[in-house]
Structure formats: C-alpha cells, structure tokens
Amino acid sequence: MTALVCLAVLLAGLHLGVNGAAVSGSKVLLITDNSGLTTSWQNVDFLQGALNASGQAYDTVVVDAAPRPDFASLMWNADGTGKYAGYIM
C-alpha cells in the first residue's frame, strides 16, 4: 500500500503527461471497475483515504461493462493538454 501511495504522489507531482504532453492540473485519476467499490479485497477506499490524507486531489472513474467512458475526453483537454498528472488502475 505504501508503494502505491508513493507512486500516486510522485505521479501527481509530474508536470508532463504521456509522450511529454503538458498537463493542466495536478489531480490523479483512479480507474476501477465496480468490484473495486464493493469487494473488500479489491476496494479502492484505502487509496482514496491515503490520497485524502496527503492532500492530493483525485477523481475516481468506475468502468463498467456498458457504457464505457470516452477515455479521450476523460483524459485530455480540448487543447491537447492532459487533465491528470497521474493514473492509478
């Protein structure tokens, strides 16, 4: 768990996104499926709690069988900059 929290904080501190694209914010995106919300051994609560405790801003997206989110608009701004400084799946 400590390694994941350190990774999340490290990624949130980066100013460049994928392929060197600029990032407009410092949030981290948590991507999970619905089992990550309900199954105790896969629960993302510990990550959310750690990010809250460290003061790191984040969003959580639940990917279900249908409909799936539009990842292009989820992760990128219209001007091509990244919305998130880090991703945790």
Encoded amino acid at 40, one letter: S
Q: Tell me if 85 sits within 8 A of 13, measured CB to CB.
A: yes
pLDDT (tens digit per residue) in 1-55: 455 555 555 555 444 444 455 666 788 999 888 765 666 656 788 888 888 999 9
pTM for this structure? 0.64
Q: How many Cβ atoms sit within 10 Å of the Cβ of residue 50?
A: 18
Higher pLDDT, 11 or 58: 58
The domains of the chain are located at 2-84
Higher pLDDT, 78 or 3: 78
Model pLDDT, residue 2: 52
